């Protein structure tokens, strides 16, 4: 495994690459048309923009760690396990992007033998790049960030993603939302799980939960939350939040209030 200095160098180079691809996304938002949109499955949209952004990221990030493998949303490269693996979502928030809504991001994580060591979430419209390197804390555009220290759930702002193709637990989800509406400062649904998690890391949201997630949606954001001092779990309280398709993330300060509420309905 690379030492801390080498990881820092890889992180810096990856951030530069991701920033350049973010510029591609920002430019192409004005060019993509309805005829460019494909529906992979119910409410799962893709265009040439997602695919071209992924190709650029794979080609350039792969060169930073020779022999590294990839897990990507659009599968423009062979999906393989390996000691070093990049987990990439080239455009998290595709529906927002295609509808002209300014909340979409690039999410990139680098793992070594299953442990995340680098995470970057680039929120394109705001030009904010959130990033972390193992053991070094989390940052946004060079400024250190940390989770909020609010202890009272009633004062917390919560993020989530509404079910849009998997409706198997809608009733339980709505019950959780009902309790959160009454017991928090409010709920937000931005449409990019990567951004939601980055905002938890930055203390803008106090907590987040969602189901039917994929590793590329959350690998980088979850790592940001950890490095910013937050906590993570699946709905049952275990650690299968990356590949288990469900996640709870929150500041340590409010965890003991927030986790039981979501767990009680969805665990």
Q: What is the pLDDT of residues 56-68, one digit of tens each?
A: 999 999 999 999 9
pLDDT of residue 42: 64
Percentage of the chain with pLDDT > 70? 97
Q: What are phi and psi of 107, to 5 degrees?
A: -125, 125
Domain(s) labelled CATH 3.30.540.10 in the chain stretch across 4-144
**Which carries the bigger pLDDT value, residue 184 or residue 77?**
184
CATH code, 153-266: 3.40.190.80
Task: Locate all alpha helices (DSSP H) within the chain, ordered by sequence.
Answer: 4-28, 48-62, 94-98, 170-183, 193-201, 215-227, 252-266
pLDDT of residue 44: 64
Residues 106-164 have pLDDT tens digits of 999 999 999 999 999 999 999 999 999 999 999 999 999 999 999 999 999 999 999 87
Q: List Cα–Cα distances, 48 to 51, 76, 137, in angstroms.
A: 5, 11, 35
**Which carries the bigger pLDDT value, residue 161 or residue 45?**
161
- Chain centre to alpha carbon of residue 134: 17
Residues 186-197 have pLDDT tens digits of 999 999 999 999
* Largest separation between any pair of C-alpha atoms in the chain: 51
Determine the 3-state secondary structure of 132 from DSSP.
Answer: strand
**Which carries the bigger pLDDT value, residue 46 or residue 228?**
228
pLDDT at residue 45 greater than cutoff 90? no
**Nearest by Cα to 15 from 125, 136, 142:** 142
pLDDT at residue 230 greater than cutoff 70? yes
Instruction: Determine the topology of domain 4-144 in CATH.
Output: Fructose-1,6-Bisphosphatase; Chain A, domain 1 (3.30.540)
Rounded to whole angstroms, how far apart are CA atoms 185 and 168?
27
Q: Are 221 and 197 in contact (CB under 8 A)?
A: yes
Q: Are 207 and 156 in contact (CB under 8 A)?
A: yes
pLDDT at residue 173 greater than cutoff 60? yes
pLDDT at residue 43 greater than cutoff 60? no
Q: Are 153 and 258 in contact (CB under 8 A)?
A: yes
pLDDT of residue 4: 77
DSSP letters spanning 67-100: T-EEEESS--S-----SEEEEEEEEETHHHHHTT
pLDDT at residue 1 greater than cutoff 70? no
Confidence of residue 32 (pLDDT cuts 50, 70, 90): confident
**Which carries the bigger pLDDT value, residue 37 or residue 244?**
244
pLDDT of residue 261: 97
Query: Which two structure tokens, joined as six digits, stand for 133?
Result: 């390197």
Lowest mean pLDDT among 40-54, 74-88, 93-107, 232-246: 40-54
pLDDT of residue 108: 98
pLDDT at residue 26 greater than cutoff 80? yes
Confidence of residue 41 (pLDDT cuts 50, 70, 90): low
Domain(s) labelled CATH 3.40.190.80 in the chain stretch across 153-266
Percentage of the chain with pLDDT > 90? 84
Rounded to whole angstroms, how far apart are CA atoms 156 and 148?
9
**Nearest by Cα to 198 from 208, 213, 188:** 208
Query: Exposed e or buried b for every residue in 194-216, given b needs 16+ CB within 10 A?
Result: bbbbbbbbbbbbbbbbbbebbbb
pLDDT of residue 46: 76
pLDDT of residue 5: 77
């Amino acid at each position: 495994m690379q030492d801390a200095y080498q990881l820092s160098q890889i992180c810096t180079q990856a951030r530069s690459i991701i920033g350049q691809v973010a510029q591609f996304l920002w430019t192409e938002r004005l060019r993509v048309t309805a005829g460019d949109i494909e529906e992979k499955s119910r409410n799962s949209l893709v265009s040439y923009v997602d695919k071209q952004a992924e190709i650029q990221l794979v080609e350039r990030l792969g060169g930073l760690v020779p022999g590294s493998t990839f897990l990507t949303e659009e599968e423009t490269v062979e999906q393989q396990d390996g000691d070093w693996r990049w987990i990439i979502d080239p455009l998290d928030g595709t529906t927002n992007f295609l509808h002209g809504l300014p909340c979409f991001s690039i999410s990139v994580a680098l793992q070594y033998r299953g442990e995340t060591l680098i995470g970057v979430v680039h929120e394109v419209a705001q030009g904010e790049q959130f990033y972390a390197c193992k053991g070094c804390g989390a940052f946004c555009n060079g400024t250190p960030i940390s989770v909020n220290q609010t202890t009272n759930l009633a004062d917390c702002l919560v993020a989530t993603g509404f079910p849009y193709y998997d409706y198997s637990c809608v009733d339980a989800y709505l019950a959780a939302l009902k309790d959160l509406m009454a017991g928090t400062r409010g709920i937000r649904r931005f449409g990019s799980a990567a951004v939601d998690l980055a905002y938890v890391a930055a203390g803008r949201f106090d907590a987040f939960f969602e189901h039917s997630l994929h590793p590329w949606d959350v690998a980088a954001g979850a790592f940001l939350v950890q490095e910013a001092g937050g906590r993570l779990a699946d709905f049952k309280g275990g650690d299968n939040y990356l590949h288990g398709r469900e996640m709870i993330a929150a500041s340590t300060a409010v965890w003991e209030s927030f986790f039981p509420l979501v767990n009680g309905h969805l665990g």
